[in-house]
Structure formats: C-alpha cells, structure tokens
Amino acid sequence: MLNFLSQSNQKQIVGIALNPGVGLEVAILDKTNSTVINYGRRKVEYNFSTREIQDYVQFKTALVELIDLMKIPPKSLTYIVLPNVYFDFMEVPLVVTNAEIKTAILSRAEEFYIFKREEPVSGWCQVASYENTSQKKIVYSSFQKSAIEELKEIISDIGLQLVGVETAHSATLRGLYLTGQIDDVILENAPWTTMIVGTNSYTLFQLEGKNLIDYSEVPLAIKSFSTEEAYQAIVSSAAQLLNNHESDKLYIISQTDDICAEVLKRQMQYDKEIIAIDSNKFSKKPLMEIVSAIDFSQVNSMTLSVLGAAHLKSNFSIILNVLADDPSASMGVYFTTNILGTPVDVTSEFVLKVSVLLSALFFIIFGGIAGICATIDSKEQARISDISSQIQTIDAQILSETDGKSKQEIDMNSIIDEIAAMNVTAIDFYDSIATDIPKNVWLTQYYNKSGDKIAVRGVAQSIVDIYEYYKNLRIVSPKSDIKLTELKVITEDLSESNKYLSDIELNKDTERLYSFEIANTQIDFEKQQNNKGVRGSNNKNNNNSAQENYMQSLQEDENEIVKTPLDKIENTSGMQPVK
C-alpha cells in the first residue's frame, strides 16, 4: 500500500501556461519541498482579438520540443493555463444543481461577444455564501469549446494525458499562495488585493483570506502609451478601484516587459503595504528554487500561473477547471491530499487504483477468513464425529452389560404422583390430630410410619368421646384400616408413669378415666419409651418437662417416629399437650 502511494505521488503534474508577454512555459514541481524540478519556455503568439492561440501548429511544435528537452515521460498528467477569456461572479440558490449552474453560466456567457458565435465551456467553484439567506456566490471562467477541443487533440497526439484547462487568473492566485507570500493574510483572514498587469489590461482581485470577494478587469493598451504615461494611466485608473475596498496589503504582479512592478509600486498612492512581483525582464530572481531548466536565463521571468498549473494545492480552493466534469478528461485532478505526510494528487486514475487495491485486499481478507472458517469447520466436524463415535461405543458397552435388555425411561411425573399419594394419608391424620379432637380426649402418644401406619394412644373421660375421635379419624382417612385396639379403665392406675394425669379433675366415685389405642399396626410404646430412657422429671418448675423430654427422644429416631405438628392440637383441658 505504501509503495503504491509512493508511486502515485511520483507521477507529477506537468504545468503548461501560455502568457502573451512571456510565451509558452512548462514546469514540473517537487511538491514535498516546493522546488521546481524542471522549467522550460518557448515563444508562442496569442491573438487578443479572438482570445485564443494564434497558431496551434506553433503551439504544438513548441510544446513537443519542450517535452523532449525536459524528458517528460509519455502519459504524464498535464494541466494547461490560458489567458483569461471570460471571468465573472454569479449568485445562485443554495439548492441549485450543477446542471442548473451550468445552464445559468451558459446563458450569462452568451452575452459576451466571443460566445455569440462560439459555444462556451466553463469551470466554476463556490467562493462565498451569505448568512441567513438562501444564496451562494460562485466564480466561473469560460473558454471557446473549439479551442478546448483543439488543445485536447494536441495533447493526445503528443502522448500526454490532459486533466484540466483553467484561466490564468485563478492559477496566478494559486501560484502566489504556493510561493508563501500570502501566508500571513491567509492565516489572519485579512483583506488583501492583487493587481495583475498584462500586455493590454490589468486585473484587480479583492480577497479576504482565501475567499474571493470581487474582481475587476480594466482594458489598457499599454503599448500605445509612452513608458511614463503607461504608469500614470494605471495609477490614476486604479486609484478609485483600490479605494472601494480596504486592504491590508496590495500585491502588484507584472507579466509584461513594458511595466516594472517595483517602479509601479513607488508611484502608487496607497497607504498600505505593497509587495511587487515581476515576471518579466525586470525580475532579478526566480519565484521559487530551480533544480533544472532548459535555459537558466529564463527562470527569473517565470510566471505564477505556470506554478499554479503545476500544483493544484487544495488548501487554496479557487480552481476553475473547465474539464472537471468532462468524461474525456477521466484522469482529472480533483484535489491534492496528504497521505502519510506526502502530498498526493487525487485523480480518477488514483481513485481507480485505490479502488482496485481495496477490492483486492477485500477479496484477499475475505478469502483468508473463508479459508480459516473452512479449516475450523473441518476440525469441528472431525471433533463431532469423534464424539459421536465415542457415544456409540459407550452405548454398545451399556447394551452388552445389560444383557441386551432395552433401557427403561424413568417417568418422573409418576414418581412424584406416587410420593404425593403416599403422603396424603399422613397429612390427613395430622390434620385430624390438630382439629378433630373431642373436648374430653387427651392424646398421650402418636406413631406414624410411611404415612399409612398409624398408632395413637390417649385418655378420655367417656367411651362416647373415644368413639367420636375414632369416627373423626375414619372420616379423614376412610380407606385406612384403623381400629380401636385397646380400651381400659385407668381411674385407679395413677402410677408414677401416669402421674401427669393427676391434673385432670375427676371424681373417682362417680366418674371414670379410660385409656385407649387406635392403630392399624402393632407397636410397643412401653418398649420404645424404655429404649429412649427416662421420660419423666420431678422438677416442679417445669410441669411439662417429662412430656417434652419424651417427645424429643421420639424425634431423635427419625427412621421410626415421624415428626408431628402437635402444636396445632387444641388444648381442651388444663393438661399440657404432648409436644
């Protein structure tokens, strides 16, 4: 990529300028250090009446000679600057299209006498816009279409590539910028004026920084005056025009041997700084450093316009290339940009090369990514195949170890339903214990294993109460096979183990106390009680400690005695319930 950009930069613009007072100039610049690599000049006549080259054969001959002597390679990019034919400003709407601008310029240019018999071609650019309005200001330049076609044919015959044709006015301003003499006014965006003196006229440009504000061209037959009269004519006619615009600096550029810019500077009645630039026989040094030239005696009179033709510097954007939208000038220079610190002319060829290079890089990158993805996919497929093979091997081993019996799927829903069904009976019994105990019934012991094996012991004051409790248990669990397995009178049996029954208020003469057992399984409560150790306590400060210790010992054996929510048991007497 860097090599490509370097090669693009090496393809120089061959600047060609025709100035009536100087002749045909050819220059090639080194953009990196702003030096003239090569310069040459030949005499070519220009017709001021028809505003075109007097003899195109002479022009072609002189140009071929200069190209041979300067060893310019074939197909070099070529930019031509000609004396001004038509130059003007125009205000157009902000939303106007290029086609509409072209039509408006054509309509305006046809009023000029040259174009009443000749179709014009124009180049334009925007120079100003107005705040809070819908207008913008453009500057444009026009040439005869036949003259441009003639130049295109000549350049093609020579073997060069024509990329633009422009007026000397804008090229001179660009050349002035290239020499660095207006850097301060550009930086400060200050107002400044340029006076370009030619063979039969002088032109005034008023600018603010890089922005072109106004333009005036004054015809003046300088050769018809004596030397002193010519100076006075320029001074007197320019005085009023210069006073119309305030400027910090005035640049006087003379491109004719009849006027010396330094002499004119001394005669100007102007209270601002004046800088004189001679591109004629009065010049004492070239405008830029010269590396090589066909004739070094000519370099002092080199013009700014040929420098502007050889360097389309984008930082000064007044470029009026009439071939900018011409398909035949497909290698036109659009602008100059900086790439990696190196100025590069952006042309159609450059854009095409970059596009081809980017396309190639895209396909290379895309192809590389596709190749990498294919490699990864191949590896993953191999890994998946290997895992599948391992699974098949394991399945075969399982099949062989189970003697070929088919695998049975585990139905988790059935398991959950079965467990839930097993716990329904136990939950029902728990609910009965909590809510269905008659008033004169007290439970002393409760056993429940696996939800469907139950044994309950208690005491009651009447058989009716015992039967009522038994009936409640049967209601909550109708499918159970519980029975009343034990019933006996214990009114006289108040041994130490039943001492906690003494709190029941009972008239032993008329009332009885019964113990009962309801169960669907056999369980020796006394044996379990003995296995758990001493159940009672004589501590008077804790009346129910015996009961608590007993139930705590039962809860420690979770494999035998199921935890029961006895805190829900309704206390229907003063007796503390079993916990």
Query: 457 and 314, same structural domain?
Result: no
The domain boundary residue, chosen from 232, 266, 282: 282
Per DSSP, the three-state class of 437 is coil
Domain that holds residue 538: 417-568
What is the pLDDT averaged over residues 33-39?
89
User: How many angstroms separate the CA atoms of 138 and 90, rounded?
Assistant: 5
The mean-pLDDT minimum among 20-24, 253-257, 402-406, 440-444 falls in 402-406
Residues near 25 by beta carbon (within 8 Å), at least 6 away in sequence: 15, 16, 17, 18, 19, 39, 40, 41, 302, 303, 306
Residue 575 lies in a domain: no
Q: Output 425 or 463, whichever has higher pLDDT.
A: 463
The domain boundary residue, chosen from 282, 310, 332: 282
Residue 383 lies in a domain: no
Banded pLDDT at 63 (limits 50, 70, 90): very high
CA 496, distance to chain mean position in Å, is 92
What is the pLDDT averaged over residues 394-417?
67
pLDDT tens digits, one per residue of 562-573 = 333 333 333 333
Tokens 């008033």 belong to residue: 439
Nearest in space to 531 (alpha carbons), one of 500, 560, 493 = 560
CA-CA distances (angstroms) from residue 453 to 107, 420, 425, 462, 562?
115, 16, 9, 26, 11
Query: 291 and 278, same structural domain?
Result: no
The mean-pLDDT minimum among 109-118, 337-346, 453-462 falls in 337-346
What is the pLDDT averaged over residues 167-181?
91
Nearest in space to 264 (alpha carbons), one of 233, 231, 288, 286 = 231
CA-CA distances (angstroms) from residue 380 to 368, 383, 387, 461?
18, 5, 10, 82
Run of H or E including 99: helix 98-109
Query: 272 and 291, same structural domain?
Result: no
What is the pLDDT averaged over residues 517-537?
63
Residue 379 lies in a domain: no
CA-CA distances (angstroms) from residue 141 to 34, 105, 109, 350, 532?
27, 9, 9, 26, 120
Q: What is the end-to-end Cα distance of the chain in Å, rounded? A: 91
Residue 396 lies in a domain: no
Residue 215 lies in a domain: yes
Query: 563 and 469, same structural domain?
Result: yes
Residue 517 lies in a domain: yes
pLDDT above 80 for 343:
no
User: How many angstroms separate the CA atoms of 427 and 242, rounded?
Assistant: 114
Query: 108 and 139, same structural domain?
Result: yes
What percentage of the chain reaches a pLDDT higher than 90?
Answer: 30
C-beta of residue 193 within 8 angstroms of C-beta of residue 251: yes
pLDDT above 80 for 20:
yes
Q: Output 294 or 368, whichever has higher pLDDT.
A: 294
Q: What is the residue-averaged pLDDT of the chain?
A: 79
What is the pLDDT averaged over residues 419-430?
68
Query: 321 and 250, same structural domain?
Result: no
Residue 38 lies in a domain: yes
pLDDT above 80 for 325:
no
Q: Output 432 or 44, whichever has higher pLDDT.
A: 44
Domain count across the chain: 3
Rounded to two decimals, the pTM is: 0.58
Spell out a b/e string for 105-131, using b for 16 or more CB atoms within 10 Å of the CB, else e: beebbeeeebbeebebbbbbbebeeee
Query: 199 and 64, same structural domain?
Result: no
Predicted local confidence at residue 567, as pLDDT: 39
Predicted local confidence at residue 403, as pLDDT: 58
The domain boundary residue, chosen from 282, 297, 324: 282
Residue 369 lies in a domain: no
CATH number at residue 90: 3.30.420.380
pLDDT above 60 for 116:
yes
51: left (phi over 0), alpha (psi -120 to 50) or beta: left
Read out DSSP for 501-527? GGGS---TTT---EEEEEESS---HHH
Banded pLDDT at 377 (limits 50, 70, 90): confident
